[in-house]
Structure 1
Amino acid sequence: MNATHGGRWYGDLPWRRAQSTRDTHTAPQSLGTIGSQPELFRMRVRAMDDVSVAELHGELDLLAHARLTPQMDMLTRPERPAIVMDLGGVTFMDASGLRLLLRAQDRVRERDGTLDILPDTRWVAMIMRMTGTGTGFRLLERLPPRLT
């Protein structure tokens, strides 16, 4: 049991991108390093009663989409999954990141589950509204007290 979060962490999935000269000049601030490579995104999942809370951190871009899709598929695999995605740690999201969320939403609906999104930043909520995808998700203003 993790006393800080009131739940048990069962996944901490950091991913790294090989640095190139281009990355050195254009990449946003990394979340830290693993070895000599910056950690640009990760997903942490914790189980709280019957709900899985997935915290996404860093850049949700094409690389994150490719690397996180298998983990998202595992998260959305059970029958009637109940998932809350906390996007508070997301520093960048492009169409690939949005596609990752939409894929998770489709899989959850196929299994009669629920997927709630905690955008936590104005720009993530704005992107979802501008693209019309915000209406398909139930957007939360904050985590329910039992999940904090």
Structure 2
Amino acid sequence: MDQTENAYQPKPLEITTTVTDGVTVVSVSGEIDHNTADPLIQALEVDALAGRPQVVIDMRRVPFMDSSGINVLLAAHRQLTEADGWLRLAGVHGSVQRVLQLVGLDTVIACHANLRDALTA
């Protein structure tokens, strides 16, 4: 038996981008890791945001995130801030919330309980 047959194959990250009151909302579903982060990187590029550098990432459907996700969020935060914008996270929970707290990212990027709170902050 080939050992790769039983290897973990991550599902692709599902990303939906909408605009609410001039704020770009990036809804993410799935695990954010080295193998799945590219679509999120692309969605958060300043050039892809059509002049709207105010971004909320809805993370309600993200059950897992590793250091790759941390790096994506930090890079996006830096780029959006340089473009006179901001990044906020909404609906972070469970192990993802714990990771953000452990590395102190929740003190750098505003985290809100839900999308409504993130949009009105």
Contact 1:61 1:94 in 2 (8 A): yes
CA distance in 2, matches of 1:113, 1:128: 21
Q: Which amino acid aligns with 1:21?
A: E
The match for 1:137 is: 109
Does residue 103 of the first structure (1) align with residue 87 of the second (2)?
no
Q: How far does the alpha carbon of each residue in 1:78-114 deviate from its partner, in whole angstroms, 9 at most, with x for none?
A: 3x61111011111221100111111111111101112
Partner amino acid, structure 2, of 1:43:
I
Offset at residue 70 of structure 1 (A): 2.4
What do the CA deviations read for 1:1-44 (whole angstroms, capped 9, x no partner)?
Answer: xxxxxxxxxxxxxxxxxxx5243xx357xxxxxxxxxx431111
CA deviation vs aligned residue, 1:105-131 (integer Å, no higher than 9, x gap)? 111110111211014313212111101
Match of 1:41 in 2: 13
Q: CA RMSD in A?
A: 2.3
In 1, Cα distance between the equivalents of 2:112 and 2:39? 26
Count of aligned pairs: 115
Percent identity of equivalent pairs:
26
Structure with the bigger RCO (C-alpha within 8 Å, sep 6+) is: 2
Q: Is the partner of 1:129 in helix, strand or coil?
A: helix
Q: How does 1:68-87 map to 2 (within 5 A)?
A: 68-73=40-45, 74-76=47-49, 78=51, 81-87=53-59
2:102 is the counterpart of 1:118: no
**Structure 1 counterpart of 2:104, which letter?**
G
Bigger helix fraction:
2
* Matched residue, 2:31: 59
What TM-score comes out, normalization by structure 1 length?
0.67
Name the aligned partner's letter for residue 130 of structure 1: L
CA contact (8 A) 1:43 1:56 kept: yes
* Structure 1: gaps spanning 5 or more residues: 1-19, 29-38
Task: Check conservation: 1:76, 1:104, Cα contact below 8 A.
Answer: no
Q: Which residue of 1 aligns with 2:5?
A: 21
Which structure: greater strand fraction?
Answer: 1
Question: If the length of structure 2 is used for normalisation, what is the TM-score?
Answer: 0.80
CA distance 1:127–1:65, change in 2 (3 Å): same
Partner of 1:90: 62
Describe the shift of the 1:91–1:122 C-alpha distance in structure 2 as closer, same or farther (beyond 3 A): closer
